[in-house]
A and B are shown apart, each in its own frame.
Chain A
Amino acid sequence: MHDFLRYIESYLGSDKTPGTAGNIFWATVYVLLVFVGLSVAVIAMNWLERKILAHMQVRLGPMRVGPHGLLQPIADALKLLLKEDIIPAGADKVVFWIAPFIVVLAAFTVFVVVPFGPTHAITDMNIGILFMLGVSSLSVLGIVTAGWASNSHYPLIGALRSSAQMVSYEVAMGLAVVSAILMTSLNATNTGTLSMIGIVEAQKAEAVWFLFKFFPLGIIAFTIFAIAMVAETNRAPFDLPEAESELTAGFHTEYSGFRWSLFFLAEYSAMIAVSSIAVTLWLGGWLRPFPNLLQGPTWDLAFSLVPGLTFLFLGGMCFYNTARMPKHPLFKVQTVGLAGFGTLLALIGILMFLPPLRDRVGDIFWFSAKVAAFMYLYIWYRGTFPRYRFDQLMKVGWKVLLPTGLALLICTAIWALRAQVWADVVIPMWTGFVDRLRSIF
């Protein structure tokens, strides 16, 4: 027992991730924390998406279950668990059974390397970004097998669309990622890195987010990735695999109850995963805004108060809405509930002001805040853009994003080596040209 405690203690104060340090206990703790955090994020996202989308369309959204529909996701989850689990008679049972698990496994496994902070990751792999892209590309296998195993026309068409779409956009996505990785190699040793933590640290060392590096090349790469990642996660406006108006629900039409909720979980955690890639590669990962411009203890303190202030603001919003609740006795439970939720958020906010906690959650907060911005964008896209036609989708992928990505990669490489290119290519060519002219005339 004493040895065990010593083993647990030995990791504390380490400047490595538990996976890299080889501490199995803390690695397990981190895995569980990430899993719980993700599940909570998916539940919150479910509620937020319905509310925000409703407000964008001048509706109220869920209002009945709990104050402002706050308990709606829990009610939905209970309903899904109690629902009858139907397997179609003509379905291929084994494959039908495996498909949702492939999707969920692929969507959750990628979080092994997502860096929430310099030490707040399950592990740091030398092939981090490659691992993320590779494992998330496996989720299309689950979608394809789900569509095929249902033995029904709509799911099959949805699966076909999905596989064509995901394979097409993976190429453009890869090119954008490579140009960002190229930017990590601009250091003394001229050696880049694929490790997720290494990529963020390269941005810290170069004192710029890769979004703004080599303006406008970084922004173009980011734009390509931002378009490709929406297509990759089958979300509006690229949600052809599950286009409601044409295919009922696409590849998961025949799924119900728990299996359907697995697809739902996988879709949202895949959205969080690709947003994490975008944040890590272009938006500085866990780094707070302006780490080099606004440095010094005063700014550090000011930025470290932001997480607590955010939670206090959310708590304040809850109290504001508590005051606005109808005064009818029937709403009493809801009013008390909302006030309780506000108190909980405010308490978390106050806890975040405590110095030991403040120093430890800062990086996680900034990472989550950046990912949350992407999540809001996803909802915004869904609220504003009409769905693409399939030929338009393919045209955007192969004829716009892919050539742009290739040109961008070449431009980034040339710009990164501009001094060498100038000295070794341009000047010799120019002098050679001038000599040639002299010899002629």
Chain B
Amino acid sequence: MNPALNPPLSNPPVATPYFFYGLAAIMIIGGILVITRKNAVHSALALITTLLAQAALYLMLYAPFVAGVQIILYAGGIMVLFLFVIMLISIERQEKERPFNKQWLVGMVAAAALGGLFIAVYTTRTRGSVLFPPVGRESYVEGQNTQGIASLLFDLHSGTYMFAFEIASLLLLVAIIGAVVMAKKRI
């Protein structure tokens, strides 16, 4: 990676582990509320809280650009469209329905796999490597984050991720065209 993009941090980090614990708690509570609320609008609001806490988490990781994009795209864009659709559902009928599809076996297997993954990641620390890298390492100073991302994506010489980025945007374009084709009978 270009060393010019990685100068040492000038200020000591203000983001302490307590920020992380608070934000993680908000995210987990929000996530639990998303799946336990019977009212779909409440679920959507809880999901928005989770996404906003996630944006704050990006800020804590010295990635303000990603945080801004997270707010614009997810909280401001996608969730608004979610709400737009959910609002049209009749609440009365929805509250009587059982929202849980009781597939205990599949659920248990998935939960066990995810938990196993978490434990595996956590135990790597005991085997000598570090779980969380020291703050500031491999991260841009706040003032250059956007420019750093831009040169990683688009620079002719150091643009490592240009191909992946373009492929991802092509994939999204195909998805949009597919949605239009499926939604419209006659084009």
Contacts and interface: CB of A to CB of B under 8 A. Distances in A.
Interface string B66-85: 01110110011101110110
Given A127-B64, A167-B77, A170-B77, A144 B71 contact: no
Contact of B72 (A137, A147, A164): A137
B64 A144 contact: no
Contacts of B75: 134, 137-138, 141
Contacts of B67: 127
Contacts of A240: none
Given A134-B72, A137-B77, A145 B83 contact: yes
Interface stretch (A155-163, A295-303, A319-327): A155-163
Interface in B45-79: 45, 48, 64-65, 67-69, 71-72, 75-77, 79
A308 B77 CA distance: 44
A432 interface: no
Interface in A86-129: 92, 95, 98, 125-127
A22 B72 contact: no
Contact of A126 (B39, B69, B71, B144): B144
B77 A131 contact: no
Contacts of A22: 11
A145 to B, nearest CB: 7
B153 interface: no
A137 B77 CA distance: 8
B147 A148 contact: no
Interface in A1-41: 22
Given A127-B65, A130-B65, A194-B146, A160 B84 contact: yes
A145 B45 contact: yes
A375 interface: no
A191 interface: yes
A223 B83 CA distance: 30
A23 to B, nearest CB: 13
A191 B142 CA distance: 16
Contacts of B48: 141
A135 interface: yes
B6 interface: no
Contacts of A127: 64-65, 67-68, 145-146
A92 B95 CA distance: 13
Interface string B109-136: 0000000000000000000000000000
A283 interface: no
Among B11, B39, B71, B142, max chain A CB count under 10 A is at: B71
B24 interface: no
A148 B91 CA distance: 11
A422 to B, nearest CB: 18
B45 to A, nearest CB: 7
A274 interface: no
A126 B83 contact: no
Contacts of A164: 84
A265 interface: no
B38 interface: no
B92 to A, nearest CB: 11
B95 to A, nearest CB: 12
Contacts of A312: none
A191 B68 contact: no
B29 interface: no
Nearest to B65: A127
Ranked nearest first, the 8 interchain pairs of A and B with the lowest CB-CB distance are: A137-B76, A134-B71, A130-B68, A134-B72, A127-B68, A127-B64, A148-B87, A163-B84
10 contacts: A92-B39, A95-B41, A95-B42, A126-B65, A131-B68, A137-B80, A138-B71, A148-B41, A160-B88, A163-B81
